[in-house]
């Protein structure tokens, strides 16, 4: 039996809010599930299996009418609960109920729970303190990458790679030369690195200027990577003029931000990578937001080839034991937590079967 590689009973970012607009649905595969996302009454987000119960057409090529998803092939109208509401000249009461998904729009993202809807608890959607806060601004984007989502977690929990992959922007030799500290706190993992009295690399020079600060003086620099399941990584990054407290410095001595990474498995070897940056300086400066987004997009694009070639290599040598060095501890610990959650999920499935008899599969 194929090993499950990601939890399915978890909240994942499926899309940016603006990707599902008007009467046009969005079809996207999340954790192996083909899902049609659409806006129902009052722009309420809904998510159903992207499969028309009539003849198997992809519902996502249809359109929304009266809050229902109309199949673009023969006009079946699907409700957010997976039940067919109507179809021209047809009685639809006996139509099979299709799988629907717990889905929630929050913080400018559409969150989906690809597993069992009955287990979805909206309180588990992580709180993003920088979102909906006027003192912060956010900009970001989306990349599709052909790699196991855990390779991206490894990537983000070990920023040593900035020195090599992002040498011309955020990388600098001092990252490499500074030890890293990894802590596990329940289901969370925190990897941190602090560099004192170094010169800022180009990206941070620009950020200092963006905050009205001198860019040609020594700084203290920090990177604090925070993993939380299933696959979110928030990274506090920044520089402060040296000697003003570093990470703890006041805003008029530093340029800092939170790198936001939602890593959503599409399949075992591909991801939807939602990347962005939240900052709490000059939040109203939209040109700055655009500049940062453009710069970050170019930098993060440098990871694509690295990850896809790494994935190809691992598929060619599936039995090779990757090394687990201190710099890898963030990824290693994150993977342990993921494995524990997957095991719990599988155990729960076994217990459900034991207590309820054979699983009742909805539709198919």
User: Which of 217, 301, 322, 353 is the binder for a second copy (CB under 8 A)?
Assistant: 322
- Footprint of a second copy on 162-191 (CB under 8 A): 163-165, 176-177, 179
User: Which of 9, 100, 160, 334 is the binder for a second copy (CB under 8 A)?
Assistant: 160
Check binding of 304 to a second copy (CB under 8 A).
Answer: no
Instruction: Work out how close the CB of 64 gets to a second copy at its nearest, in angstroms, rounded to a whole number.
Output: 13
User: Which of 287, 316, 354, 359 is the binder for a second copy (CB under 8 A)?
Assistant: 316
Instruction: Work out how close the CB of 288 gets to a second copy at its nearest, in angstroms, rounded to a whole number.
Output: 31
Q: Cβ(225)–Cβ(157) under 8 Å?
A: yes
HEC string of 59-115 equals HHHCEEECCEEECCCCCCEECCCCCEEECCCCCCCCCCCCCECEEEEECCEEEEECC
Residues 6+ apart with CB under 8 A from 127: none
Output 280 or 310, the one with its CB closest to a second copy: 310
Write out the H or E segment, with its range, that includes residue 15.
Answer: strand 12-16
Between CA 67 and CA 354 the distance in angstroms is: 39
- What is the sign of the dihedral through the CA atoms of 138, 129, 10 and 109? negative
- CA distances, 324 to each of 66, 154, 184, 321, 333 (Å): 54, 11, 16, 9, 10
Check binding of 158 to a second copy (CB under 8 A).
Answer: yes
Within 10 A of 244 (CB to CB), how many other CB atoms are there?
14
Instruction: Work out how close the CB of 82 gets to a second copy at its nearest, in angstroms, rounded to a whole number.
Output: 14
Binding segment for a second copy (CB under 8 A), chosen from 101-109, 188-196, 258-266, 323-331, is 323-331
Per-residue interface string for the shown chain with a second copy, residues 40-79, x marking contact by CB under 8 A: ----------xx-xxxxxx--xx-------xxxxxx----
User: Which of 1, 123, 287, 323 is the binder for a second copy (CB under 8 A)?
Assistant: 323
Q: Cβ(182)–Cβ(329) under 8 Å?
A: yes
Alpha helices in 241-328 (DSSP H): 286-316
- Footprint of a second copy on 90-119 (CB under 8 A): 90, 95
In the complex, which residues of this chain contact a second copy (CB under 8 A)? 34, 50-51, 53-58, 61-62, 70-75, 87-90, 95, 154, 158, 160-161, 163-165, 176-177, 179, 305-306, 309-310, 312-314, 316-317, 319-320, 322-323, 325-328, 363-364
């Amino acid at each position: 039996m194929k090993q499950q590689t990601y939890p399915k009973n978890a909240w994942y970012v499926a899309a940016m809010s603006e990707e599902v607009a008007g009467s046009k649905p969005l079809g996207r595969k999340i954790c192996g599930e083909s899902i049609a996302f659409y806006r129902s009454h009052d722009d309420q987000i809904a998510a159903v299996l992207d499969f028309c119960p009539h003849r198997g057409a992809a519902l996502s090529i249809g359109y929304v009418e009266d809050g229902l998803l109309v199949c673009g092939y023969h006009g079946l109208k699907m409700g957010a609960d997976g039940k067919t509401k109507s179809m021209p000249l047809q009685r639809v009461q006996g139509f099979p109920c299709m799988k629907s998904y717990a889905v929630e729009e929050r913080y400018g993202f559409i969150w989906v729970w690809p597993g069992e809807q009955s287990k979805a608890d909206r309180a588990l959607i992580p709180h993003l303190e920088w979102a909906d806060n006027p003192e912060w601004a956010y900009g970001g984007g989306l990349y599709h990458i052909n790699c196991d989502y855990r390779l991206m977690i490894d990537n983000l929990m070990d920023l040593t790679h900035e020195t090599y992959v992002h040498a011309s922007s955020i990388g600098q030799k001092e990252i490499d030369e500074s030890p890293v500290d990894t802590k596990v706190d329940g289901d969370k993992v925190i990897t941190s690195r602090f560099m004192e009295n170094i010169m800022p690399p180009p990206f941070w020079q620009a950020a200092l200027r963006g905050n009205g600060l001198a860019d040609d003086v020594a700084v203290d620099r920090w990177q604090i990577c925070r993993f939380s399941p299933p696959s979110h990584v928030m990274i506090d990054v920044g520089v402060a003029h040296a000697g003003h407290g570093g990470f703890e410095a006041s805003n008029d001595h530093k340029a800092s931000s939170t790198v936001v990474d939602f890593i959503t498995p599409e399949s075992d070897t591909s991801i939807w990578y939602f990347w962005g940056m939240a900052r709490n300086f000059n939040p109203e400066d939209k040109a700055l937001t655009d500049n940062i987004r453009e710069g970050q997009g170019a930098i993060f694009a440098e990871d694509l080839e690295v990850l896809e070639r790494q994935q190809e290599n691992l598929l060619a040598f599936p039995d090779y034991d990757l090394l687990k060095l201190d710099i890898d501890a963030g990824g290693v610990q994150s993977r342990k937590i993921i494995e524990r959650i997957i095991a719990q999920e599988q155990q729960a499935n076994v217990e459900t079967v034991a207590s309820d008899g054979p699983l009742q599969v909805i539709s198919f």
